[in-house]
Structure 1
């Protein structure tokens, strides 16, 4: 009986030690100090990409560089005037390709970070990714470009899932928590705020950019109308 009792005690101690060890083996389930909420592990597979942001970054205290950044923004707006919707006052879930206008891009950094440099940016639905990303990558000049997905996990979006063209600028990642969803709750690829393709009559390309965006369902990108900009004509393609 004594031997059996000893065995029972040993097993009980082992069981208790395993339970105590779990927070060390799975640190993502521990309470986060000072925040009162749980640090969430990333889902497996990773969360779906809902949309993208393209950021052009530059030095604010260098007037020639700021001028170059503003000129690129104006050229981008002019080149994609047939594709862009009105400017977005925020950063997420607008349902269309738009220039983001939420701070003074000539004199201030973005309040709330994570950018320590000047920046201007574009909200890019999934269907518009192949339209604007190649053009900006090749036409950014001496400026840096950050392309990152929007999944709701902002630390990973701006760090491990981000792509840079040009010099990589430091970001203030201390404002984000790893493996923690902070936005995009209830959103998914293809909802009304985050389309994955263009509906009927959407501008899908032209004779300079060719057919660059994706038309939905059984629609095809077809030549639709001729546009004159005062110097030359070009043909707009629409989903039909």
Structure 2
């Protein structure tokens, strides 16, 4: 995935530390928003591109400091469990999550948006604990391995470590 926005190298904690002392209920560490579109459909692709541009425009400070991490795949690539193309926005700070959630509720248009927590249990996060805006898309959940130790991808670090939920808050993110 290509990162459109990035954590600040000098101080990644700006994007990961609540300015109001808020936190999610354990084991939730952050949230992913997956915006689905169809690359073979010009109207769908244009709507998706416009929505991503509007998100960046409407949240310039949060996008610039990495509080909203936007990532996208090449239009020809599909990665499971997602059955079609998507781009995503990841949010660690609860006060930013509330703003982004309500923004997507008002602006997702014809696009489906999967919103799920990151707890280390990928199957449950993407299914039973997920929220949907628009039409629910059937996920390819067979790809999730069974009986694996719970681990959460490091927030905002391409190819980053997978961290145990209980160690997530004490982990120091270092951007090279």
Please give the TM-score of this superposition, normalised by the length of structure 1: 0.51
**SS of structure 2 residue aligned to 1:98:** strand
Q: Does 1:70 align with 2:49?
A: yes
Counterpart-to-counterpart distance in 1, 2:103 and 2:143: 31
Contact 2:111 2:134 in 1 (8 A): yes
* Structure 2 portions without partners, runs of 5+: 1-24, 153-162
Quote the RMSD (CA, aligned, Å): 2.4
Of 57, 77, 80, the match for 1:108: 77
In structure 1, what is the equivalent of residue 121 of structure 2? 153
What is the correspondence of 1:194-209 to structure 2 with a 5 Å cutoff?
A: none
> Runs of 4 or more off by more than 6 Å in structure 1?
none
Deviations 1:71-105 (A, max 9, x none): 10111111111111467xxxxxxxx321124x21x
Counterpart-to-counterpart distance in 2, 1:193 and 1:159: 29
Over alpha carbons, which structure has the higher Rg? Answer: 1
What is the correspondence of 1:111-190 to structure 2 with a 5 Å cutoff?
A: 113-127=80-94, 128-177=96-145, 180-184=148-152, 185-188=163-166, 190=169
Q: CA distance change for structure 1 residues 183 and 132 in 2, over 3 Å: closer, same or farther?
A: same
* Structure 1 portions without partners, runs of 5+: 1-45, 88-95, 195-240
Counterpart-to-counterpart distance in 1, 2:85 and 2:104: 17
Deviations 1:100-150 (A, max 9, x none): 24x21x33223xx11111100011114221121100111001111110000
In structure 1, what is the equivalent of residue 3 of structure 2? none
Contact 1:154 1:181 in 2 (8 A): no
Q: Determine which structure has greater relative contact order: mean sequence separation of CA pairs < 8 Å that are 6+ residues apart, divided by chain length.
A: 2
